[in-house]
A and B are shown apart, each in its own frame.
Chain A
Amino acid sequence: MYKIVAKQKLNHLVEKMVIHAPFVARKCMPGQFIILCVEEGDERIPLTIQDYDREKETVSIIYQIVGYSTQKLAQKEVGDTLAHFAGPLGVASVLHNSKRRVLGIGGGVGAAPLYPQIKELQAQGVSCDVILGGRDKDYVILQDEFKAVSNELFFATDDGSLGTKGFVTTVLNELLAKGRQYDEVIAIGPLPMMKAVVSVTKPLNIPTMVSMNPIMIDGTGMCGGCRVTVGGQTKFACVDGPDFDGFEVDFDEAMRRQSMYKKQEQHICNLKLGGGTNA
């Protein structure tokens, strides 16, 4: 059993939890994730490791409440336990300090997995600009944390309530138009956002890493459910990723695969929780 030692609401749909999980905390690295079951018999859901404390043997996760399992997770409070918490899974992000100028782009909860990478790069002396995007200002999470580790921080919101009105790509295009140069872009967020970022960076040949989040079960390479096409080859995101070269990813296939169980997910959410959000 894995005890919840802290919990914090970041906005009305996004929360952070700190979990006691010694085996994960001892070894995890930025870019890796865990898989948890809220209670015995529940589905296995993957969440990125947002932060960790090796001494206290704890791991932080940030999740957006989108459906049945995340809603059930949100009902747990400090002192409660989670039935299962396995990891660390996936390959740690390759963070070369040979890159001098990095642009991080985080959309919605994508900011959570982006944060440890930017923090690590900054610690290595890399200058990082960051663009955070969200529906409105409440959806732009971890603003203070990013301020502390980025060179310049930009925002984009759909309604203009924070930073530029528009998408993260609106800001990206502005920065590039102003002549800013980057050796690498790290984009993490919803698939349409990552696809849009790549459509800007690919023609300019700015290397772009994206983080794939296909539907997973085991997270150990045993089911193949998480397969994504990268450079024409099938990869298992849980063991070969989740980070991949954005130029090579087949985003349209990934988006299709992510929606495979939409009907069932909606059904269980309505049935068991009396109308879910399914954002």
Chain B
Amino acid sequence: MPNMRLDKVKMPEQAPDIRNKNFEEVARGYTEDMAIEEATRCLHCKQRFCVAGCPVNVPIPEFIEEVAKGDFEKAYEVITSENALPAICGRVCPQENQCEGKCIRGKKGESVAIGRLERFVADYVMNHTDITIEKAGSNGIKVAVVGAGPAGLTCAGELAKMGYEVTLFEALHEVGGVLVYGIPEFRLPKELVAKEVQKIVDLGVRIEKNVIIGKSITIDELIEEGYSAIFVGSGAGLPNFMHIEGENLNGVYSANEFLTRSNLMKAYDFPNHPTPIFVGSKVAVVGGGNVAMDAARTAKRLGADEVYIIYRRGEEELPARREEIHHAKEEGIIFKLLCNPVKIHGKEGRVSHIECVNMELGEPDASGRRRPVVQEGSEHLLDMDTVIIAIGQSPNPLIRSTTPGLDVQKWGGIIVNEETMETSKENVYAGGDVVTGAATVILAMGAGKKAAHAIHEKLKK
């Protein structure tokens, strides 16, 4: 008889006014008892709606059944048959739009806490068992993977399992892409990313850090060096700016710079880590997505007194995950909605104010969302020390500008055959944010996996 409780077993969390002063993980994870209890809420539906909602088809009811039985190692095996990075996905997947969004229990009450269970299983196995990874015998075929984000890591791991000699090239000095430079420690501990990366190294993937494809070596030169196939997973890392007056004042950051300083360079631990960062007392974050929430919550933790999210549409249109918005509000982030910056004012070269206008929602635009329009005469000034621009990123031009024959969209995304992820250039594949524009971890992983299998189909002939 399933457990018919309407709500999920609550996730233990650090209290908001404590956690907004530290960088430790907010959500502490289920205990074994909590996980087993939550697992009994699953109805094991014949029509597996939840699985259909998961971009990589994790066998959800099957793994949950093992959790209910207390066989967490078996549950782990079931999950990892489809998802190589469950500790990460369990934490950062937008479950409310994916697996949990489709769960039947969500029709009346809350869905089964699939993400939390996935996280629990991954953490349990990581902490309780030594997973020994067996390297596949080499088939002697060299494949190069560009970019060590979720797309590249997944593709490299899958290919290594099939016996390919994989070299993963990463521009930065750390491996993980957005998982290490973008998503903050309090949502995704970096130690955990490092453990997942280690598994991929154990599979035999060779990692070359500090190599910028297009600069240190080009795609064509990799082909000349005997790589039979190349997967490009270079992400969408180029920050967009608003092109308003005052954007180059001291104290104006792109979210990428602000988060990179704090996460990748550990500026939150200055001076133990030598990279500096500036926050001041009042901070405005422009934008309403996950990136904006992460920047705002980071600014608060770095000691800002007042942190504002400035977003030109309304609450419902906020593109960030509900959980992140909820967490941000709990931590004291102030939401200024239907508000848009038009100019940043400075004093002696440093930010002093941000000038905004109020917006109203008009007719729906091409994206189906109601288009914000300016309310005449609503200009107003807000005192600020720091302004963080989080209005989106696009693919970096370094690779496309140095790879003749690679077709790209007008906005810079690499064009692929969606069945195989192959680009217009033979034996060059691409996936993740560099193809879709800024999307999600799980979609990037899915693309990496699909490309790995297509590469294998082609090369085994």
Contacts and interface: CB of A to CB of B under 8 A. Distances in A.
B212 A89 contact: yes
Interface string A238-271: 0100000000000001001101110011011001
B254 interface: yes
A30 B234 CA distance: 27
Interface in B252-271: 253-254, 256-257, 260-261, 265-266, 270-271
Q: Is the interface of B mostly helix, strand, loop or mixed?
A: loop
Contacts of A265: 276
B186 to A, nearest CB: 19
A87 interface: yes
A273 to B, nearest CB: 10
Interface string A156-184: 00000000000000000000000000000
A12 to B, nearest CB: 23
B278 A260 contact: yes
A60 interface: no
A160 B442 CA distance: 65
B253 to A, nearest CB: 7
A89 B248 CA distance: 23
A225 B261 CA distance: 10
B398 A220 contact: yes
Contacts of A83: 173
B89 to A, nearest CB: 24
A37 interface: yes
Contact of B215 (A85, A89, A272): A89
Nearest to A27: B216
Nearest to A260: B250
B171 interface: yes
Residue among B216, B247, B274 having the largest count of chain A Cβ atoms under 10 Å: B274
B250 A223 contact: no
B215 A27 contact: yes
B241 to A, nearest CB: 7
A261 B275 CA distance: 10
Contact of B216 (A24, A223, A259): A24
B437 interface: no
B398 A44 contact: no
A44 B134 CA distance: 36
Contacts of A220: 171-172, 212, 215, 237, 396, 398
B459 interface: no
A26 B256 CA distance: 30
A218 interface: yes
A190 interface: no
Contacts of B254: 223-225
Interface residues of A, number: 42
A197 B239 CA distance: 33
Contacts, number: 119
A256 B250 contact: yes
Contacts of B15: none
A86 B250 CA distance: 27
Q: Is the interface of A mostly helix, strand, loop or mixed?
A: mixed
A221 interface: yes
B60 to A, nearest CB: 35
A271 B271 contact: yes
Contact of B210 (A86, A217, A227, A260): A86
A68 interface: yes
A215 B241 CA distance: 18
Contacts of A68: 274
A218 B172 contact: yes
A43 B250 contact: no
B396 A221 contact: yes
Contacts of B248: 227, 229, 234, 253, 257
Given A223-B257, A224-B254, A86 B274 contact: no
Given A27-B215, A83-B173, A86-B171, A257 B250 contact: yes
B319 interface: no
Contacts of B349: 253, 256
Contacts of A37: 173
B343 interface: no
Interface string A116-159: 00000000000000000000000000000000000000000000
Given A24-B216, A227-B248, A261-B278, A84 B171 contact: no
B212 A87 contact: yes
B265 A44 contact: yes
B398 A221 contact: yes
A53 interface: no
B256 A222 contact: yes
Nearest to B393: A222
A7 B131 CA distance: 45
Contacts of A229: 248
Given A217-B260, A220-B398, A221-B396, A43 B275 contact: yes
A222 B216 contact: no
Contacts of A24: 216
Contact of A86 (B212, B217, B257): B212
B218 to A, nearest CB: 9
A50 to B, nearest CB: 18
B461 interface: no
B397 interface: yes
B27 to A, nearest CB: 26
B216 A87 contact: yes
Given A43-B274, A259-B250, 4 more contacts: A44-B173, A218-B172, A220-B171, A260-B251
28 contacts: A23-B208, A26-B216, A27-B217, A37-B173, A43-B273, A43-B275, A44-B265, A69-B274, A84-B209, A85-B210, A86-B173, A86-B209, A86-B211, A87-B216, A218-B172, A220-B237, A222-B238, A222-B256, A223-B260, A224-B239, A234-B241, A234-B248, A239-B397, A253-B349, A257-B248, A261-B278, A264-B276, A272-B271
